[in-house]
Amino acid sequence: MQFHKTTADLFVPNGTAPEAALALTTHLCISAHQDDIEIMAYHGIAECFGRKDRWFTGVVVTNGAGSPRNGIYGDYTDEEMQKVRLIEQRKAAFVGDYAAQVQLGFSSAEVKNPANTEVVEDLAQILRATRPEVVYLHNPADKHDTHVAVMLRCLAALRAVRDETRPKKVYGCEVWRDLDWLPDDSKQALPVSARSNIAAALVGVFDSQVSGGKRYDLATAGRRLAHATYYASHGTDQESALSFAMDLTPLVDDPSLKLADYVLGLVDQFRADVARRLG
Ligand SMILES: [Zn+2]
């Protein structure tokens, strides 16, 4: 498989031939950065972990340049830091028993440039090779512009290949901004209680990010616990951890549906819910 960047990396933890490993994929996550997948799509990783009939593949679109660095990484050059992040992502793929891990190596500026077609072409190629049933993307209401840009390229790629392959479900997931605000009947509540040991290890292997002082490992587990606890005020919790997602499937099923209209429609539902209770 040929990607646009010569620095693109395709890693298969169990050594299966790359094309065969990609073809096994049932659950696919496409994220902006190294460690986003493990924060936003643990649901898919856990669904596939240790199974022979379901396989998870991760795709990271950017190259990790410009990452914050501290401690033992403090004097690393940008090139050295990109290498560290690439290896950390490979470690996560190994721990999480992924079918494959692709790192496309684009800069954030390239991803955010609407005139750049290479990102969408690489993503379309991956979608054709994996034909996933379930896809995890950044959610369109995320507050990190690179996350939103990656989601836009993913939606363009999904729409471009929809006559050849179309997932049953497309989720927009939480990283920089959670989705508690979504009205419950529009909220996808994904159970993520299984194997908290693996869930913790997956975020924990990104030492260059966590040891810089940002406790993504604790914060991610804390958000999942908070969601499980505060999801419903009555009854006892069936799950000790939940992730919330926005259903993006309608946007792929109906390419004429405008993304902004769809997302702002959900914001309007939230607004109406607050207004109704105050009334
Ligand atoms: Zn990110």
Query: What pLDDT, on a 0 to 100 scale, did the predictor assign at position 69?
Result: 83
CB atoms < 10 A from the CB of 16, how many?
15
CB 122, CB 104: distance < 8 Å: yes
Distance 247 CA to ligand 1 centre (A): 20
**Contact by Cβ (8 Å): 161, 124:** yes
User: What is the whole-number distance in angstroms between the Cα of residue 250 and the centre of ligand 1?
Assistant: 24
**pLDDT tens-digit readout, 232-279:** 876 667 889 999 999 999 999 999 999 999 999 999 999 999 999 999
CA 235–ligand 1 middle distance (angstroms):
35
Q: What is the pLDDT of residue 1?
A: 87
CA distance 94 to 261: 39
32: CA distance to ligand 1 center in Å? 5
Do residues 7 and 63 lie in contact, with contact meaning Cβ atoms separated by under 8 Å?
yes
Distance from the alpha carbon of residue 5 to the mean position of ligand 1, in angstroms? 20
Residues 6 or more apart in contact with residue 21 via CB below 8 angstroms: 12, 14, 55, 57, 99, 100
> Cα(227)–Cα(240) distance, rounded to whole angstroms?
9
Determine the distance separating the centroid of ligand 1 and the alpha carbon of 143, expressed in angstroms.
Answer: 10
Distance 156 CA to ligand 1 centre (A): 19
Residue 200 in this model has a pLDDT that exceeds 70 = yes
Q: Report pLDDT digits (tens) over 84-140.
A: 999 999 999 999 999 999 999 999 999 999 999 999 999 999 999 999 999 999 999
Separation of CA 207 and ligand 1 centre (Å): 15
- What is the CA(34)–ligand 1 centre distance, in A? 7
Distance in Å, CA 279 to ligand 1 centroid: 39
Q: How far is the CA of 15 from the centre of ligand 1 (A)?
A: 27
**Any bridge partners for residue 59, and if so which?**
30, 102
State in Å: Cα 188 to ligand 1 middle: 21
Contact (Cβ atoms closer than 8 angstroms) between residue 210 and residue 216:
yes
Residue 36 burial (C-beta neighbours within 10 Å; 0-12, 13-18, 19+): buried
23 pLDDT above the threshold of 80: yes
Distance 61 CA to ligand 1 centre (A): 10
Q: Are strands 187-191 and 169-173 parallel, antiparallel or unpaired?
A: unpaired
Ligand 1 centroid to residue 128 C-alpha, Å: 25
179-210 burial, b at 16+ Cβ within 10 Å, e below that, comes to bebbeeeebbbbbbbbbbebbebbbbbbebbb
If you measure from the C-alpha of residue 148 to the centroid of ligand 1, how many angstroms do you get, rounded to a whole number?
10
Q: Whole-number mean pLDDT of the chain? A: 96
A 10 A CB-CB count for 119 gives 25
Q: How far apart are CA 48 and CA 54, in angstroms?
A: 5
pLDDT at residue 44, as a whole number? 98
Between 196-204 and 216-230, two packed helices, what is the crossing angle to 10 degrees? 140
Model confidence pTM above 0.85: yes
CA–CA gap between residue 99 and residue 272 (Å, rounded) = 43
Residue closest to 45 by CA, chosen among 106, 96, 1, 99 = 96
pLDDT bracket for residue 196 (50, 70, 90):
very high
For 46-79, write each residue's pLDDT tens digit.
999 999 999 999 999 999 888 878 889 888 999 9
CA 37 – ligand 1 centroid, Å: 9
CA of 268 to the centre of ligand 1 (A): 27
For residue 1, report the distance from its CA to the centre of ligand 1, in Å.
Answer: 25
Q: How far apart are CA 44 and CA 96, in angstroms?
A: 10
Reported as a pLDDT band with limits 50, 70 and 90, residue 213 is confident
Residue 33 CA to ligand 1 centre (angstroms): 4
DSSP state of 185: G
